[in-house]
């Protein structure tokens, strides 16, 4: 057994992807690479619920999973790094969810990766990424880096899809209550989104400036 194979055999991996075929395919690939697969999940909630039992060293997960197929996976990755800092996370997806990815990568001291499925060229590349994340390293696809840099140049790009929806409805002059009815969520959830929008756009509380108006102007600015 090579040194790399010996290292792989000590790494416990959990997989989360809503596609059964892809999920089972990854499990087989990981087994071939010598990793110990300790969990396989179809959604982010079951992954989070199973962490204490499966005790992985690295979680490999998709960005978009049930129920909303938007950013559940990357939000789960942020939560894992917050509540289980010893577990590495490797996002393996077709999409770059830049808002939460920026939060994930900005807060982490290591043990984080983000690769695009279509750009992983070989099993050896994936094996190397998991090994590096397990040892506290960081692995990023160049396209992910480019989008994160673009996000920092454009604060609006840092908004999550839901925050973008809320800001668009704010621009239409709809109140928080009206937005909650439109999006079928609680008013409290809308208020949290509005607060996040103000924060990401750098709109601090002021006695003279109306942040709601300033946020809408920022959104409408060409």
List strands edge to edge, sheet with 138-140: 36-41, 12-16, 58-61, 88-93, 112-116, 138-140
User: Are 3-151 and 155-220 in the same CATH fold?
Assistant: no
What number of other Cβ atoms are within 10 A of residue 19's Cβ? 12
Give the pair of three-digit tokens for residue 163: 């925050």
Residue 151's pLDDT is 62
Residue 173's pLDDT is 80
Give the pair of three-digit tokens for residue 103: 């939060």
Closest CA to 12 of 49, 81, 58: 58
Say which residue, 160 or 144, is predicted with more confidence. 160
Domain map (residue ranges) of the chain: 3-151, 155-220
Q: What is the CATH number of domain 155-220?
A: 1.10.10.10
pLDDT at 38 over 50: yes
**Residue appearing with tokens 């990424």:** 129
Q: What is the CATH number of domain 3-151?
A: 3.40.50.2300
Q: Tens digits of per-residue pLDDT, 49-75?
A: 999 999 999 999 999 898 888 889 988
Say which residue, 109 or 194, is predicted with more confidence. 194
For residue 34, what is the DSSP state?
T
Mean pLDDT comparison of 15-24, 108-117, 130-139, 200-209, highest-scoring range: 15-24
């Amino acid at each position: 057994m090579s040194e790399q194979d010996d290292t792989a055999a000590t790494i416990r991996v959990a997989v989360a992807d809503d596609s059964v075929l892809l999920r089972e395919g990854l499990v087989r690939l990981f087994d071939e690479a010598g990793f110990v697969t300790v969990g396989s999940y179809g959604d982010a909630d079951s992954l989070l619920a199973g962490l204490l039992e499966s005790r992985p060293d690295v979680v490999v997960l998709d960005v978009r999973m049930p129920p909303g197929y938007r950013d559940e996976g990357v939000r789960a990755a942020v939560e894992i790094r917050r509540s289980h800092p010893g577990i590495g996370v490797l996002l393996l997806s077709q999409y770059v969810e830049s808002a939460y990815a920026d939060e994930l990568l900005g807060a982490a001291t290591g043990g984080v990766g983000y690769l695009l499925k279509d750009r992983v060229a070989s099993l050896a590349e994936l094996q190397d990424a998991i090994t590096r994340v397990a040892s506290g390293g960081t692995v990023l696809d160049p396209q992910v880096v480019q989008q994160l840099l673009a996000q920092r140049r454009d604060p609006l790009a840092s908004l999550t899809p839901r925050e973008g929806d809320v800001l668009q409805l704010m621009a239409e002059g709809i109140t928080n209550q009206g937005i909650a009815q439109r999006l079928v969520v609680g008013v409290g959830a809308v208020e949290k989104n509005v607060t996040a929008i103000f924060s990401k756009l750098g709109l601090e509380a002021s006695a003279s400036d109306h942040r709601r108006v300033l946020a809408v102007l920022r959104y409408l600015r060409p």
